[in-house]
Amino acid sequence: MSDNQNVDVTSIINESRFTGYQWLILTLCALSAIFDGYDTQGIAYVAPVIVKDLGIAPASLGLIFSSGLVGLTLGAVFFGMFADKFGRKQAIMWSVLVFGVFSLLTPQGHDVQSLLILRFLAGIGLGGALPNVIALMMEYTPMRRRGLAVNSPNSCFAFGSVVGGIVATQLIPAFGWQSTFYVGGVVPLLFLVVLAIWLPESARFLLVKGKSPERVLQIMQKIAPSRGFTEATRFTLEPEVHGITVKHLFTQGRATATMLLWTAFFMNLFVLLYLINWMPTLLNKAGQPLQTAILTVVWYNIGGFFGGIAMGWFSDRLSAPHGVLAIAYVGAAVFIGVAAFSIGNPYLLFPAMFLAGVSINGGQASLNTIAATYYPTAIRATGVGWALGIGRVGSILAPAIGGILVAAQWSIPSVILVCTVPAAIAAIAILSLRRHRAHEMAGIAASAAAT
């Protein structure tokens, strides 16, 4: 290629094949998400044991669950804005450091108050990792593979939860509930060395911030080695959005889409965390052994892993992520209903929870991808972080509401059936977002034709 040629980074990434370098980035992002999923949902697996070991009232679990989710909310918002200022890599590494340290310290909690504090602090790191993993993967993935590739780290979050459940069933009887958190703290802290050495910063972020052109050149040479980029090549990208990035979620016609995304995130994460946090305790209360109670949530998360991959694949093939997601939410309401009336029959309960996981956990993966696709580079991490932050408000309320219903002595099926309502609302929000986007694209096309 000729010297001094302007090259659009987005076009190069979209046109190039998926290289080994991008597979490395995907792998590191996936592993970060696995550790995140393990630590985020580990508290739910040990909850029935903590109740007996520390003498905590079951209704108090709602406060412990919610404290971690408050941390997740603040972490998603803070680290989303942090990443748009200082970089995706820095945000991911600091997030992993925070949740690794405080997961390691969680076994030091011996009562409700200390567990509230420790899970809140761990939650700050846990909340910051996923939105930045999503943003980074989004910015290194060709458009034609975006649904599948960006859904993969999201699905790995669910896989991390599966690993957490399996590890919990093995470690708790042998070494106590504390051992699950020791594993969840040590492994991510060791992984920080790997991230520091091999995880690159987003080339798009570096261009938006006008930083390190030599690093951008090195990255693009690895992504498109056949293009012959040299030091004279000038890489370009869309101009930076100036000012406080949060306000730009509501400018240039984004307000309606942002509110619909926030609604869907709120409802999806309400259901997601409600079922994860309360199903082991509810089933144990209904007479199921602890292993069966944990395995129910394991199957739920296995469904999330496969659901995220499958929905990403269908979204790419059909070019209809909103329609696929809306159908999933309708299915979720049905499968949750089946699970609610199958608490005494694992042969029905496990498949129902697996399919609910396909719809809800997998749906969250697709929802994250839709949000990441909607916002431009300069505010992408902020957009995804705020959407997850608002969604975490739903996840904070979910265990607290579950605790209120348990304390009010609602029947166990009724406590579970509560989740069908937010699933239906999420479907409506996504269908409304699809309609809004269709009108928006039609307006853009009309303006282009007029000029």
Whether residue 67 lies inside any domain: the answer is yes
- CATH number for the domain spanning 391: value is 1.20.1250.20
CA 47 to chain centre: 22
Q: What is the pLDDT of residues 18-58, one digit of tens each?
A: 889 999 998 999 899 899 889 887 887 888 888 888 888 77
User: Can you tell me the distance from the alpha carbon of 373 to that of 180, in angstroms, rounded to the nearest whole number?
Assistant: 35
The DSSP result for 216-228, as a single string, is HHHHHHHHSGGG-
Q: What is the pLDDT of residues 62-118, one digit of tens each?
A: 788 778 878 888 888 888 889 888 999 999 999 999 999 999 999 988 888 899 999
Whether residue 335 lies inside any domain: the answer is yes
- At residue 348, the pLDDT reads 92
Angstrom distances, CA of residue 330 to CA of 293, 300, 335, 399, 421: 25, 17, 9, 22, 10
User: Which among 43, 44, 42, 41 has a CA at the least distance from the CA of 283?
Assistant: 44
Angstrom distances, CA of residue 321 to CA of 3, 311, 312, 379: 40, 8, 8, 21
Of residues 386 and 153, more confidence is placed in 386
Q: Which domain holds residue 82?
A: 6-450
Amino acid at 343: I
- At residue 442, the pLDDT reads 65
The DSSP result for 381-440, as a single string, is HHHHHHHHHHHHHHHHHHHHHHHHHHHTT--HHHHHHTTHHHHHHHHHHHHHHHHHHHHH
| pLDDT, mean of residues 231-246 | 68
Whether residue 76 lies inside any domain: the answer is yes
The DSSP result for 264-321, as a single string, is HHHHHHHHHHHHHHHHHHHHHHTT--HHHHHHHHHHHHHHHHHHHHHHHHHHHHHT-H
Band (1; pLDDT cuts 50, 70, 90): very low
Query: pTM here?
Result: 0.71
Q: What is the pLDDT of residues 319-356, one digit of tens each?
A: 668 888 889 999 999 999 999 999 888 899 999 999 99
Whether residue 440 lies inside any domain: the answer is yes
Whether residue 1 lies inside any domain: the answer is no
User: Can you tell me the distance from the alpha carbon of 73 to that of 155, in angstroms, rounded to the nearest whole number?
Assistant: 20
Q: What is the pLDDT of residues 242-300, one digit of tens each?
A: 444 677 788 777 889 899 999 999 999 999 888 887 888 888 888 888 788 888 888 98
Angstrom distances, CA of residue 380 to CA of 135, 190, 196, 212: 6, 28, 22, 20
User: Can you tell me the distance from the alpha carbon of 254 to that of 153, in angstroms, rounded to the nearest whole number?
Assistant: 26
CA 169 to chain centre: 24
- C-alpha dihedral sign at 333, 403, 262, 297: negative
- At residue 55, the pLDDT reads 84
Give helix 61-86 / helix 20-54 axis angle, nearest 10°: 160
Angstrom distances, CA of residue 409 to CA of 34, 283, 403, 414: 35, 14, 10, 10
Largest CA distance in the chain: 74
User: Can you tell me the distance from the alpha carbon of 314 to that of 187, in angstroms, rounded to the nearest whole number?
Assistant: 34
The DSSP result for 397-409, as a single string, is HHHHHHHHHHHTT
Contact 252, 233 (CB under 8 A): no
| pLDDT, mean of residues 130-144 | 82
Q: How far apart are the first and last CA of the chain?
A: 32
Give helix 346-374 / helix 146-175 axis angle, nearest 10°: 140
User: Can you tell me the distance from the alpha carbon of 206 to that of 136, in angstroms, rounded to the nearest whole number?
Assistant: 12
Model confidence at 141: pLDDT above 90: no
Whether residue 318 lies inside any domain: the answer is yes
Band (441; pLDDT cuts 50, 70, 90): low
Model confidence at 223: pLDDT above 80: yes
User: Which among 35, 39, 130, 36 has a CA at the least distance from the CA of 80?
Assistant: 130
- Residue 440 has a CB neighbour count (10 Å cut-off) of 14
Model confidence at 448: pLDDT above 80: no
In the chain, the number of structural domains is 1
User: Which among 354, 363, 358, 360 has a CA at the least distance from the CA of 321?
Assistant: 363
Which two tokens mark 306?
């496969």
- At residue 193, the pLDDT reads 95
User: Can you tell me the distance from the alpha carbon of 245 to that of 250, in angstroms, rounded to the nearest whole number?
Assistant: 10
